[in-house]
Chains A and B, each alone.
Chain A
């Protein structure tokens, strides 16, 4: 990424200029639906996208724009659009690229809602998905069809923790004239900047590590601007007349920003999954300390792995930084600072013992989220992935005894004591 500021400086400052009139040092919450036009010409200029500014908060908002500009800076993107959730970010991305009759190639090992969206929702609208293992580049190459509009996956698969080699798969996708879209929620730009490692579009659930506090939902789409949409006839939504915008050809008119412009002018304008200004404010507060938190997440994860690996109550431990992980080398190359703070493990005694463990933790919280500053635990088989069929569970690499731990920022001694007593309870089952 070009720019003279480093990660933590960008986390604190990027995208915000204090206004001259009030000089507010913190990003103000612009809790408004609409904006007063200076005159009729100004109003027309805003609608024509010939001047910057805001029309209506479904489309853009000053507080949300700071968040968008900050994340775009952190990820090295040319622009970003924030959404009400990570799922909304994925949906508006698909909407900008795909139409009925199109096709997606996706990793099979992902968050359950991502799989459901592709498998059950989009298929009702004529968009089909071929699922392949994230660590099988040849399978991605073989699955790409002439109507494929995007290759998609999570760098760190949730919850199976398989690693997608985005450098290799990005090249495969781009060589076939298809963009690589990456859900980078589990790595955040602190651990890996996908746009500089093979991806063309990044989405995040900001609800997780980016916000870190677990108080605000949000998502974002970041455009790398590094994919030539005009190289073939595959992307008519970007290279042909755009119905919603005076018939303009977005590729010709906005160049590298064609995709993100479509996301805003169609996804936000026509569908409207907008982020509230207050949630944007909360997420900005979280991002200010992202670097510091991620350092601590990584160090606590290392300690937790050491603890779990030696504990007699644990039957297996999976994390991409462990040498026995099948994607260890890829993880080390892509994410030398750490491969996320989620650990998968099995408690001896199977599903019942795992449930006992979860019901007995006191410091850790049992809930359906990851990436909080607090340590979280869950049994995916009975919760986040419970809607998956046995076949889909198998395809996603999930087992019935699996626990997912999202390691937080507590003093590790307290976490260790908590896990120790909960594992003792589980052993009694």
Chain B
């Protein structure tokens, strides 16, 4: 659905079902240079099982207009504004990669708006290689290809797919290319600049969950596990042989881990 937020168009996928506010919606937050499409299979899964689902494209991403937001805090504020515009009081967050940093910040600074926090393929901080930052600024197509190459695990690189006939790597490239130019660089720089992850984690009181890829090259498993220590999370799922693009490469494992974590009330 399309929402007018402060004069800009926001597109939010509702999992293929009409949005009807029931309980606390599952609020998907995409990663750097991604869009609502990273959660296509999760959104459909939960919407078809009676949850309210929102997977919004942040400004300059996917089908949303506007200029890219340049800090994790600004992104959190934007999500709160979107919740307000939809009349949503409290959400259950799924944040992937950079979306996990936004989730941490939301659960810390807006603790009364977040009832549960699921962090997928993320860490308390996401340092980004200087070369990648530079490529994102000056050679965006090269950066996109590099990210899709590093981000995918064995499924992507074997060109195998759970959805018959589809291709993870090339789909990822086209999904990222569809964003407005500059969105990826702003996202990556925001990840680099965000240093409040450890302090935010220490203050979070809502139930948290981590879903990590065993072979994640972008947010390696050891950093994800450190997040678990800081968050005192006992609910940790490690998906074997999975890379960073867990939601698309291992949708069934991710959905299986997410489902018991969320409530419908």
Q: Is B217 an interface position by the 8 A CB rule?
A: no
Q: Are the C-beta atoms of B165 and A256 separated by less than 8 Å? A: no
Most chain B beta-carbon neighbours within 10 Å: one of A5, A16, A45, A62: A45
- Cα separation A85 to B228 with both chains bound (whole Å): 53
**Closest residue on chain A to residue B171 by CB atoms:** A78
Contact among A4, A44, A50, A226 with B41 in the assembled complex (CB-CB below 8 Å): A50
Q: Which B residues are CB-close (under 8 A) to A44?
A: 48
Contact of A60 with B164 at beta-carbon distance under 8 Å, contacts A3-B169, A72-B170, A253-B40 already known: yes
A178-206 contact mask (Cβ, 8 Å, vs B): 1 or 0? 00000000000000000000000000000
Among B86-94, B117-125, B155-163, B186-194, the stretch in contact with A: B155-163
Q: Is B63 an interface position by the 8 A CB rule?
A: yes
Q: Are the C-beta atoms of A14 and B159 separated by less than 8 Å? A: yes
Among B76-84, B126-134, B173-181, the stretch in contact with A: B173-181
Q: Which B residues are CB-close (under 8 A) to A226?
A: 174, 177
- Cα separation A220 to B159 with both chains bound (whole Å): 17
Contact of A70 with B45 at beta-carbon distance under 8 Å, contacts A77-B170, A253-B13, A255-B35 already known: no
Contact of A69 with B149 at beta-carbon distance under 8 Å, contacts A50-B41, A253-B16 already known: no
**Closest residue on chain B to residue A1 by CB atoms:** B170
Considering only residues 206-238 of chain A, those with a C-beta below 8 Å from chain B are 224-226, 228, 230
Interface residue count for A (Cβ, 8 Å)? 52
Q: Is B51 an interface position by the 8 A CB rule?
A: no
Q: Are the C-beta atoms of A68 and B165 separated by less than 8 Å? A: yes
Q: Which A residues are CB-close (under 8 A) to B255?
A: 51
Q: Are the C-beta atoms of B35 and A69 separated by less than 8 Å? A: no
A236-271 contact mask (Cβ, 8 Å, vs B): 1 or 0? 000000000010100011111100100010000000
Nearest-neighbour CB distance to chain B for A43, whole angstroms, equals 12
A69-89 contact mask (Cβ, 8 Å, vs B): 1 or 0? 110110011111110000000
Q: Which B residues are CB-close (under 8 A) to A68?
A: 164-165
Q: Which B residues are CB-close (under 8 A) to A80?
A: 165, 167
Q: Is A17 an interface position by the 8 A CB rule?
A: yes
Q: Are the C-beta atoms of A60 and B170 separated by less than 8 Å? A: no
Q: Is A15 an interface position by the 8 A CB rule?
A: yes
Contact among B41, B45, B145, B167 with A72 in the assembled complex (CB-CB below 8 Å): B167
Q: Are the C-beta atoms of A52 and B170 separated by less than 8 Å? A: no
- Cα separation A21 to B182 with both chains bound (whole Å): 46
Q: Is B148 an interface position by the 8 A CB rule?
A: yes
Q: Which A residues are CB-close (under 8 A) to B62?
A: 255
Q: Are the C-beta atoms of A2 and B165 separated by less than 8 Å? A: no
Contact among B11, B162, B164, B167 with A252 in the assembled complex (CB-CB below 8 Å): B11
Q: Are the C-beta atoms of A73 and B159 separated by less than 8 Å? A: yes
Q: Are the C-beta atoms of A54 and B164 separated by less than 8 Å? A: yes
Nearest-neighbour CB distance to chain B for A45, whole angstroms, equals 7
Q: Which A residues are CB-close (under 8 A) to B158?
A: 13-17
Q: Is B232 an interface position by the 8 A CB rule?
A: no
Nearest-neighbour CB distance to chain B for A86, whole angstroms, equals 17
Q: Which B residues are CB-close (under 8 A) to A225?
A: 170-171, 174-175
Q: Is A65 an interface position by the 8 A CB rule?
A: yes
Q: Are the C-beta atoms of A256 and B44 separated by less than 8 Å? A: no
Q: Are the C-beta atoms of B162 and A51 separated by less than 8 Å? A: yes
Contact among A2, A48, A79 with B166 in the assembled complex (CB-CB below 8 Å): A79
Q: Which B residues are CB-close (under 8 A) to A76?
A: 170
Q: Which A residues are CB-close (under 8 A) to B163?
A: 49, 52, 79
Q: Are the C-beta atoms of A256 and B174 separated by less than 8 Å? A: yes
Q: Are the C-beta atoms of B40 and A69 separated by less than 8 Å? A: no
Considering only residues 44-68 of chain B, those with a C-beta below 8 Å from chain A are 44-45, 48, 62-63
Interface residue count for B (Cβ, 8 Å)? 41
Q: Is A10 an interface position by the 8 A CB rule?
A: yes
Q: Is B252 an interface position by the 8 A CB rule?
A: yes
- Cα separation A48 to B40 with both chains bound (whole Å): 12
Nearest-neighbour CB distance to chain A for B56, whole angstroms, equals 12
Contact of A52 with B161 at beta-carbon distance under 8 Å, contacts A3-B169, A226-B177, A256-B171 already known: yes
Q: Is B251 an interface position by the 8 A CB rule?
A: yes
B14-55 contact mask (Cβ, 8 Å, vs A): 1 or 0? 001100000000000000000101001100110010000000
Q: Which B residues are CB-close (under 8 A) to A272?
A: none
Q: Are the C-beta atoms of B166 and A69 separated by less than 8 Å? A: yes
Nearest-neighbour CB distance to chain B for A46, whole angstroms, equals 11
Most chain A beta-carbon neighbours within 10 Å: one of B17, B149, B170: B170
**Closest residue on chain B to residue A69 by CB atoms:** B159
Q: Which A residues are CB-close (under 8 A) to B161?
A: 52, 65, 69
- Cα separation A256 to B160 with both chains bound (whole Å): 18
Q: Are the C-beta atoms of A5 and B157 separated by less than 8 Å? A: yes
Q: Are the C-beta atoms of A51 and B45 separated by less than 8 Å? A: yes
Q: Are the C-beta atoms of A256 and B175 separated by less than 8 Å? A: yes
Q: Which B residues are CB-close (under 8 A) to A13?
A: 158
Contact among A62, A70, A79 with B171 in the assembled complex (CB-CB below 8 Å): A79
A101-138 contact mask (Cβ, 8 Å, vs B): 1 or 0? 00000000000000000000000000000000000000
Most chain A beta-carbon neighbours within 10 Å: one of B44, B45, B62, B148: B44
**Closest residue on chain A to residue B35 by CB atoms:** A255
Q: Are the C-beta atoms of B170 and A255 separated by less than 8 Å? A: no
Q: Which A residues are CB-close (under 8 A) to B41?
A: 50-51
Q: Is A53 an interface position by the 8 A CB rule?
A: yes
Q: Are the C-beta atoms of A15 and B160 separated by less than 8 Å? A: yes
- Cα separation A422 to B196 with both chains bound (whole Å): 82
Q: Which B residues are CB-close (under 8 A) to A14?
A: 158-159
Q: Are the C-beta atoms of B160 and A17 separated by less than 8 Å? A: yes
Q: Give the top 7 A-B pairs by smallest Cβ distance, nearest first.
A: A52-B162, A68-B165, A225-B174, A60-B164, A50-B44, A65-B164, A256-B174
Q: List 14 A-B contacts (CB under 8 A).
A: A2-B145, A15-B158, A61-B164, A62-B164, A70-B159, A72-B166, A76-B170, A79-B171, A80-B165, A252-B11, A253-B40, A255-B62, A256-B171, A257-B166
Question: Contacts A48-B48, A246-B16, A254-B37 given; 10 further ones with Cβ under 8 A?
Answer: A2-B173, A5-B157, A45-B45, A49-B44, A51-B41, A77-B170, A78-B174, A253-B40, A255-B174, A255-B175
- Interface residues in chain B, defined as those with a beta carbon under 8 Å from any beta carbon in chain A: 11, 13, 16-17, 35, 37, 40-41, 44-45, 48, 62-63, 145, 148-149, 154-155, 157-167, 169-175, 177-178, 251-252, 255
